[in-house]
């Protein structure tokens, strides 16, 4: 299989290395220091099975890589509007595009029988750029359960089992989703194909929403956010609001808040991706993880005041960091 990974961050590197180890023809669309690291040293993954190095083809030009069988989009959601319109040279008529991203996906209303209006989310795709970039028929939904951290450009550590869930965005069972799951499982990424991908998306959104903004405010790990008695009431409020919103869109969630919190506490001393981004000075994925949920709740008339307050505080802290950096730069000059 010709497989391209768009974005060689923590998730993209994990997928790329595992697929390359399984013998697939893997290429990476990257730029800057990451592209230079791949071209000079390859990609390196430290996981539960040891340390692995792969040397995929890499370029910042999709035309150099050419048409692929599968394209994994693993960039941050903050970069999608820039990245997706450039993918044309990677796409043939039968190419599968798998967005391995956080938060509510831009395709949320595509192919959903329960939501015939097929409206885009203003918080994610206000001008329809993402919807036009990739035909909905070529998308396979994906929910990522890989906890990984970038140690340096092209070097990633992932100390938990690798797991993905994939499924058609119109909720039908399909051979291509089953084949994709088998391909990934064969590469050491335990992958399940589902005929109800939005239920799984909502489950992951609840995880992101109840932990990521709080981690930016507190610096806490998943173990602390879900395990500390002082944090539990706040986490329960966020979960309750988000679960009401999910239910309003027909989601079936196979857990209660206490079970969800117990599982979160069992994840250990894991730092969320948003906390990693905050500490590295990168933009936060608040639109996909937070604002989109607020928009969906507002469309159904569901008040989620606690969630809105936490998102606002996380955004304020991010803005303060940016302003502080600018002020420091002025002083040093």
Positions annotated as catalytic residues are 204
DSSP string for residues in 26-87: EEEE--HHHHHHHHHH-EEEEETTEEEEE--EEES-HHHH--EEEEEE-S-GGGHHHHGGG-
Terminal alpha carbon distance of the chain? 52
User: Whats the size of the chain, residue-wise?
Assistant: 333
- Residues in CB range of 4: below 8 A, 6 or more apart: 26, 27, 28, 29, 65, 68, 70, 71, 72, 90
Residue whose entry in the numeric block shows the structure tokens 């959601």 = 77
Sheet holding 155-157: strands in order across?
Answer: 50-54, 43-47, 155-157, 149-152
Which of 213, 206, 158 shows the shortest CA–CA distance to 11? Answer: 158
Pairing state between β 155-157 and 149-152: antiparallel
Tokens representing residue 172 in the block: 């039908």
User: d(Cα 177, Cα 195) in Å, to the nearest integer?
Assistant: 9
User: d(Cα 130, Cα 108) in Å, to the nearest integer?
Assistant: 12
User: d(Cα 77, Cα 286) in Å, to the nearest integer?
Assistant: 9
Which of 261, 228, 3, 263 shows the shortest CA–CA distance to 145? Answer: 263
Residue whose entry in the numeric block shows the structure tokens 């990739």 = 134
Tokens representing residue 313 in the block: 């505080």
User: d(Cα 221, Cα 214) in Å, to the nearest integer?
Assistant: 10
């Amino acid at each position: 299989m010709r497989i391209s990974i768009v974005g060689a961050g923590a998730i993209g590197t994990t997928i790329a290395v595992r697929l390359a180890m399984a013998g697939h023809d893997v290429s990476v669309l990257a730029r800057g220091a990451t592209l230079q690291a791949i071209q000079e040293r390859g990609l390196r993954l430290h996981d539960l099975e040891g340390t692995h190095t792969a040397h995929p083809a890499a370029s910042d030009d999709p035309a150099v890589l050419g048409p692929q069988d599968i394209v994994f989009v693993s960039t941050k959601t903050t970069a999608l509007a820039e990245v997706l319109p450039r993918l044309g040279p990677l796409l043939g008529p039968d190419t599968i595009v798998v967005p391995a991203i956080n938060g509510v996906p831009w395709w949320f209303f595509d192919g959903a029988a329960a939501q015939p209006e097929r409206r885009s989310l203003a918080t994610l795709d206000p001008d329809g750029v993402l919807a036009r970039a990739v035909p909905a028929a070529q998308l396979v939904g994906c929910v990522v359960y890989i906890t990984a951290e970038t140690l340096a450009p092209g070097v990633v550590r992932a100390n938990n089992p690798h797991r993905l869930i994939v499924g058609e965005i119109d909720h039908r069972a399909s051979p291509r989703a089953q084949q994709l799951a088998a391909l990934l499982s064969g590469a050491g990424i335990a992958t399940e194909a589902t005929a109800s991908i939005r239920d799984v998306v909502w489950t992951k959104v609840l995880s992101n929403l109840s932990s990521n903004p709080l981690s930016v405010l507190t610096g806490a790990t998943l173990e602390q956010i879900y395990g500390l008695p002082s944090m539990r009431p706040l986490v329960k409020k966020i979960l309750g609001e988000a679960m009401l919103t999910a239910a309003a869109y027909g989601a079936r969630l196979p857990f209660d808040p206490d079970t969800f919190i117990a599982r979160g506490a069992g994840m250990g001393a894991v730092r969320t991706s948003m906390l990693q981004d905050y500490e590295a000075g990168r933009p936060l994925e608040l639109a996909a993880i937070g604002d989109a949920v607020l928009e969906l709740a507002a469309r159904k008339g569901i008040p989620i005041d606690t969630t809105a307050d936490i998102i606002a505080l996380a955004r304020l802290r991010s803005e303060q960091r940016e302003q502080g950096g600018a002020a420091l730069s002025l002083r040093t000059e």
